[in-house]
Amino acid sequence: MDKIKLFTPGPVNKETNIYNNISEIPPRSNQFSQIYKDINKLLNNILLYKNTDQYYNYSSVIFNGSGTTAIESIITSNSDKKILFISNGIFGDRWIDIGKKCVKNMNITHFEFGNKFDLIKVENEIKNNNYDAILSVHNETSCGISNPIYNLGQLCKKYRLEFFVDAVASIGCELFDIYECNITVCGFSCNKGLLSTTGLSIVTGKNSYFEKMKQNNTNSFYMDLYLHYKYFINFNQCLTTISTDAAICLLTSLKNITEFGIINHVEGIEKKRNYLLENIKKIGFTTYNENQNTNIVICLHHPNIKHHNNLVSFLEKKGIYTYRGKNEYNDCIIQISCLGIITTNDIDMLLENIKIFLTDFNI
């Protein structure tokens, strides 16, 4: 193969122009200030695609880190609030583990791995407790579930709660508007649905929320979202030294998506996902449960493959990268994504190599 193919939910194969504009721009320069402002504007194009009149009410802060860094900063910056954590997968559980380390008053509503949220149960929990906020994953990639953030957002509006969302695996992969979904703040990275490089954490939220955070007691400097926000507002700069290369790549990718249109971008991912799912079922695979509905990844199981890690390793030797299942599902499912510069011809190539594996192992 001329080039490796990443059928992973991040990192992804990127457009060829992503790296074209990289230059040695100092992070404290006027030129970088403009890049930061442009990134903010283009992120609002994506996150407020239905409510463009709200552009000036939202801002994004950027710092070095992963998607986990972004969500941890939200949790840490709100550690003095009473928060309800809702989980049905491994990443939801990760945020619970972080919350246990720093949130003074938290409760957990836990659903079985891969099960849909029971919104009646969630509402009853809200009614019976005096919460300040809810935190939920949008796309739970560990099990392929897209959680109902619009419905959760309406519950938060009804009970006047703040709504914190892990959008790491949903921005650029699903169509959602943070104003319509009543999202107070969401965190994400730039190497999944935004099709850029790894290395940046981003938190987008209401300006009114960021301003109120001055009153919060945050036991961190790097994770203090208010400090990051005020530095951006006052200086159009990042609070701490940032990877300007990663920021330039992100800006280029956001321009690509904006030019193509966020609706077309997401629909393209969905079409490839459906094409893969339709054709991989023909060779004996099934989704590991019926609730899967995300565009970003499909969790697949073949009843006659004893060790799915063998398939992952077989494909990797051919320059085709997929993901193993998470935790106890490590060897019983394979995770495949169609993000990035993946075509139907690439999917056909993947399927042919899976057929070779099945034949070689008499499956």
Q: Which two tokens stand for residue 207?
A: 């300006």
The reported pLDDT for the residue numbered 216 is 81
Are 172 and 43 a contacting pair, CB within 8 Å?
no
Q: Alpha-carbon dihedral of residues 264, 270, 274, 277, nearest 10 degrees? A: 150
The reported pLDDT for the residue numbered 350 is 98
The reported pLDDT for the residue numbered 2 is 53
Burial environment of residue 328 by CB neighbours within 10 A (0 to 12, 13 to 18, 19 or more) = exposed
Mean pLDDT by 10 residues, the chain (363 residues): 85 92 90 97 98 97 97 96 97 98 96 95 96 98 96 98 98 98 97 95 97 86 95 96 95 97 98 98 93 93 95 97 90 96 97 97 91
> Mind listing the domains of the chain with CATH numbers?
5-10+262-360 (3.90.1150.10), 30-260 (3.40.640.10)
Say how far apart CA 65 and CA 174 lie, in whole Å: 23
Say how far apart CA 153 and CA 143 lie, in whole Å: 22
pTM for the structure as a whole: 0.97
Task: With residue 138 as reference, give the H or E element that holds it.
Answer: none
Single-letter amino acid, residue 119:
L
Burial environment of residue 304 by CB neighbours within 10 A (0 to 12, 13 to 18, 19 or more) = exposed
